[in-house]
Structure formats: structure tokens, C-alpha cells
Structure 1
Amino acid sequence: MATAGKVIKCKAAVAWEAGKPLSMEEVEVAPPQAMEVRVKILYTALCHTDVYFWEAKGQTPVFPRILGHEAGGIVESVGEGVTELVPGDHVLPVFTGECKECAHCRSEESNLCDLLRINVDRGVMIGDGQSRFTIDGKPIFHFVGTSTFSEYTVIHVGCLAKIDPEAPLDKVCLLSCGISTGLGATLNVAKPKKGMTVAIFGLGAVGLAAMEGARMSGASRIIGVDLNPAKHEQAKKFGCTDFVNPKDHTKPVQEAWWTCT
């Protein structure tokens, strides 16, 4: 593309301070360096993790920074050493990446890569310890290696998953975090057997994805637990057979669900 190797100016939502409204700014996005990819973000979702680190409660705050990690986009250009992606590829960012070489990446039981595991305190790229975002020459920090609240972002190649270009980016962007987190928790960690009873506490995006995993596993009874009764109808689409609102019971939830409907 004509922009390859050049600094791109684009719009980004910048968090200047903890808890302060994000500000739409023009930022400069540097070209990708070795093992990095510059991505044009077409869709980005809002995850509660973004809100938590924007509020900076109980943390060491890193500001100014560009938040966002649940998104879908198209590769604009690639840095030296990148062979598995080319400009035009459709990709999803993954904040817990894979170097494919460490013991964790080679294990069937863990994906906590030694190099690319999530690091919420790091605001720079791994390769050279520098940010790829600037405003008037001053660095703007990254967030979990993705920073998708920007029209363009730079991401380590190990933190990108290539997807089918026919997949609708406005929907599959949720695979970057919420869906894969919940689905993976059921299929890869809990691993329920066919016919088992499964209870899901909290029916947000992650909980519903976990519920879908229980349905896929063949669970015979899938109990949704949530304080919001409006969640019940939505949960039915993901396999919920029973619903418990703890507010409706004086007994412990684990006793209440045996008589729930």
C-alpha cells in the first residue's frame, strides 16, 4: 500500500488521565518494526477491562494511552520478519499472543506465552521498548499490545489471528476477548462431559459464551445465574435450561437452583 513505511496520521480516542473522558485526537502511527504489523481497525468493541484500566483503580496508572483490545481490522503493512501475514489480510488482535516457541506455546495445557502473555503495565512495544503512537512528537502509550481505539495501530505479529475475509468484522471482533474467554473457559478448562449439569454465574458476554460452550459440550442442564431477570430470555438462545436470580431466594444459590425453572 502507498502508506507502507510511512507515518500515518489518524484519529484515536486517547485516555489522558484516569477516569477522565476519552479525547478524540489526531495521532501519528509509526511504521511497524521487526515482527510487527500495522493494522487498519474497522470495528472495535468496548470490554469492561478497558473501563477498569481507564479508571485505574488499584493499579499503577499508565497515561496517556490508547485503550481497546476487542476488534477486527485489515493488515496495512508488515515489518521485517513477518511472513504469515500480508497487506490485505483480515485479522483479530489477541492480547495474549503466541511466540510459538516457548514451553507454554508448545504445551496443550497453557497459552501463557513467556514473551507475549498479557501485560497491562507495559505501554510500549516489546521489540525496542518504544511506542508507535505520538502526538506532536510526544509518546502515547499502548494498552495490552493492541490499542484498538485508534484507526490504525501496531501489533506484534504473535498477537494477531488471521481470519476468513468473508467473516463479518463487526461481529467476529468479539472473538478477540469476550467470546473466546468464555468459550475457552468451558471447553478447555472446565471440560464438562455430555449429560452433566453446568451453572454459569453472570450472563454478560463472557458468561453467555461460556454457556454456549456448555451447550456444545452436551450438558443436559445449563443453569444461568444473574441478578438481572431480563438476561433469561437472551440466555435461552445460548442453551440456558434454567434460570436463578439470587434476589428471589433466601436460601443459597446452590440450593435454590435444584427447584428453579
Structure 2
Amino acid sequence: MSSSSIKTPNVITCRAAVGYGAGEALVIEEVEVSPPQPMEIRIKVVFTSLCRSDITAWSQAPIFPRIFGHEASGIVESVGEGVTEFEEGDHVLTLFTGECMTCRHCTSGKSNMCQVLGLERKGVMHSDQKTRFSIKGKPIYHYCAVSSFSEYTVVHSGCALKVSSLAPLDKICLLSCGVSAGLGAAWKVANITEGSTVVIFGLGTVGLSVAQGAKQRGASRIIGVDINSEKIEKARAFGITEFVNPHDCNEPVQQVIKQMTDGGADYSFECIGDTGMVTTALQSCCDVIPVIL
């Protein structure tokens, strides 16, 4: 192929929801999206969902202006130099925790907290610490290395996953974060055993995905804990067998769980993101006899 026939990506102008300050309403703006640099891909975002992490960061983050969003499905529009696993037209999911596949964590088989493409909090690209978004020459910062609240975005190739073109993009965007986190926790991290008792604190996307994973692994009892009793019916559809609303309890919920399970659950999942609730979840587990080595 001659050099003159090689397609060179240009700057794209598109719409994006831009945050200018903590808690301030997002503004739909015309933004410029730069071409992908080496080891990056530019994606046409087809669908994106809203995660609690987006809301938390929008209300607290110190970095602005910024484009939030990290649960997305889309189509590769162009690829940067050195990218071999993607080509134009591929359907992809974005990954807010990228994987370089070579660092200590990526090769461990036990963790995906990549040392190279791990949780990004600076609002810039991993490669050159610059942004790919701008408005009239002024930088607009990234979020979680994805920024899916934009019609187009640029991500490191390790922050995306190629998927079948037959998969419905409007549904699989949830796999980018919440569903994979919950299912992964049940299947891979906890490795839930058949016939076990599971308690789940928080019945949002992550919690319901844990329930689904626990059910598929053969758990005999799956207890859901949430302060919103309206979630009961939906939770049952995902595998919850019993429901507890802490507001309806006359004693600490961990005591209630221990009474229900004759000493505590075999597996306990905290799916809220609250440090205090982590302790409660731990205290809901069955007691074990310590072994001193």
C-alpha cells in the first residue's frame, strides 16, 4: 500500500456533555476530538449507561472541565500507530480499568488492577499525559480513561475489548463495568460453591449481577440487603431468595443476617461502595476458628 493511500484520521467535531464544576448541570457542547495517537483507538460511542461512579465524580471531582461516562459500547472509527488488535468497524466495549497484559497484575491471573493502565484519575491519556478533547483550543479532561458522554472518544487500545458484531450494543454497554464487576466477583474472585449462603449489600447493577452469578454457581440462599424495598421483585428475578431492609430491623442488620443463617453467611458482598458497610458485610459472615501458624 502506498503512503498516499493510507487514511490519516482528522480531528472530529461532535457533541458531548461537559461538566464545568462539581454538582453543576452538564452542558451539551461542540467539542473537538483529536485523532488517536500510538496505541490508541477512536470510538464512535453508540450507547453509554450511567454509573454511580460517574455521579460521585461529577459531584466531588476536583478536575474540570471534564467529560464523564465509562460504561459504553461503540464502533472503532480509527486506530493509531501500533494498534494490531483492532481495526476500523470493530464493535467494542470500553474498559475503565485497562489491561496491558504484561505487568505483574495482568499476568497474575488474580488481579486486573493494571500497573500501566489502571484506574486513571488525572483526566489525561496514559501515553503523553495530554487530553484528546478540546473546545476552541482549551483542553477538556477525560474521566476513567473513557469519557463516554461524547459522540466520539479516544481510549488506549488496552482500555477496550472487541466484541461480536451480533451482540446488541444497547444492552452490552452494562458489561463495561457493573455487570462484569458483579459476575466477576461471584464467579472468579469468590468462586462461590454450590449450596452456599450468600448475602449481598446493595441491589444496584453490581449487586444484582452478584446475585445472578451466585444463582448460576448454585448458591442455595441469596439474601439481598437494601434500604429500598421496591427492589424486591426485580431482585427476585435475578436470584435473590430473601430480602432484608435495614430500616425494618430492630437490631443491627449483621445480627439479623447471623440469626437468619445460623451463624453467618458463607459469602458476603458489599456492592455500595461505603467503607462503613464493608465492616457490616464482614460481620455478617460466619465465624471461623483462627489458625495460628
Q: TM-score range by the shorter chain?
A: over 0.9
**Counterpart contact for 1:4–1:76, Cα < 8 Å:** no
1:19-168 to 2 correspondences below 5 Å: 19-56=23-60, 61-120=62-121, 122-168=122-168
Deviation of 1:251 after TM superposition, in Å, equals 2.5
Structure 2 match to 1:228: 228
Q: How does 1:182-193 map to 2 (within 5 A)?
A: 182-193=182-193
Letter of the 2:91 counterpart: H
- Name the residue aligned to 1:194: 194
2:246 is matched by which residue type in structure 1?
P
How far apart, in 1, do the equivalents of 2:163 and 2:110 lie?
Answer: 24
Separation in 2, partners of 1:112, 1:247:
35
Alignment partners' CA distance in 2, 1:220 and 1:252: 24
Q: Secondary structure at the match of 2:229?
A: coil
- Residue-pair matches, total: 255
Q: Whole-Å Cα distance in 1 between the matches of residues 220 and 168 of structure 2? A: 32
Please state if 1:6 is matched with 2:10. Answer: yes
Q: Cα distance, 1:216 vs. partner?
A: 1.4
Q: Which has the larger radius of gyration?
A: 2
**Matched residue, 1:241:** 241
Find the aligned partners of 1:9 and 1:126 in 2 and give their Cα distance. 22
Counterpart residue identity of residue 39, structure 2: M
Aligned to 1:218: 218
Q: Which deviates more from structure 2 when the two are superposed, residues 247-256 or residues 236-245?
A: 247-256
Give the letter aligned to residue 192 of structure 1.
Answer: I
In structure 2, the CA distance between the partners of 1:84 and 1:45, relative to structure 1 (3 Å rule), is same
TM-score normalized by the length of structure 1:
0.94
Separation in structure 1 between the aligned mates of residue 182 and residue 54 of structure 2, nearest angstrom: 17
- Structure with greater contact order relative to length (CA < 8 Å, sep ≥ 6): 1
1:170 aligns with 2:170: yes
**Partner SS, residue 76 of structure 2:** strand
Q: 1:100 to 1:259 in 2, by over 3 A?
A: closer
Quote how far apart the aligned CAs of 1:20 are.
0.7
Q: 1:23 to 1:3 in 2, by over 3 A?
A: farther
1:4 CA drift (Å): 4.9
Following superposition, the deviation at residue 36 of structure 1 comes to 0.1
Aligned-pair identity (%): 56
| Structure 2 CA distance for aligned equivalents of residues 252 and 66 of structure 1 | 40
Give the secondary structure class of the aligned counterpart of 1:108.
Answer: coil
CA distance in 1, matches of 2:251, 2:117: 44
Task: Tell me how far apart the structure 2 counterparts of residues 251 and 114 of structure 1 sit (CA, whole Å).
Answer: 43
Q: Distance in 1 between matches of 2:128 and 2:255?
A: 55
SS in 2 for 1:144: coil
- The alignment's TM-score, normalised by the length of structure 2, stands at 0.84
Q: Distance between the aligned counterparts of 2:73 and 2:195, measured in 1?
A: 36
SS at match of 2:193: coil
SS in 1 for 2:106: helix
- Give the distance between the partners of 1:230 and 1:205, measured in 2 at CA: 15
- Map Cα deviations across residues 204-260 of structure 1 (whole Å, 9 max, x no partner): 111101111111111011111111111110011111111111222202324434559
Task: Please tell me the root mean square deviation across aligned C-alpha atoms, in Å.
Answer: 1.5
Taking the aligned partners of 1:49 and 1:168, their CA distance within structure 2 comes to 24
Report SS of the residue matched to 1:222: strand
Mean Cα deviation higher: 245-254 or 92-101: 245-254
Unaligned runs of 5+ in 1: none
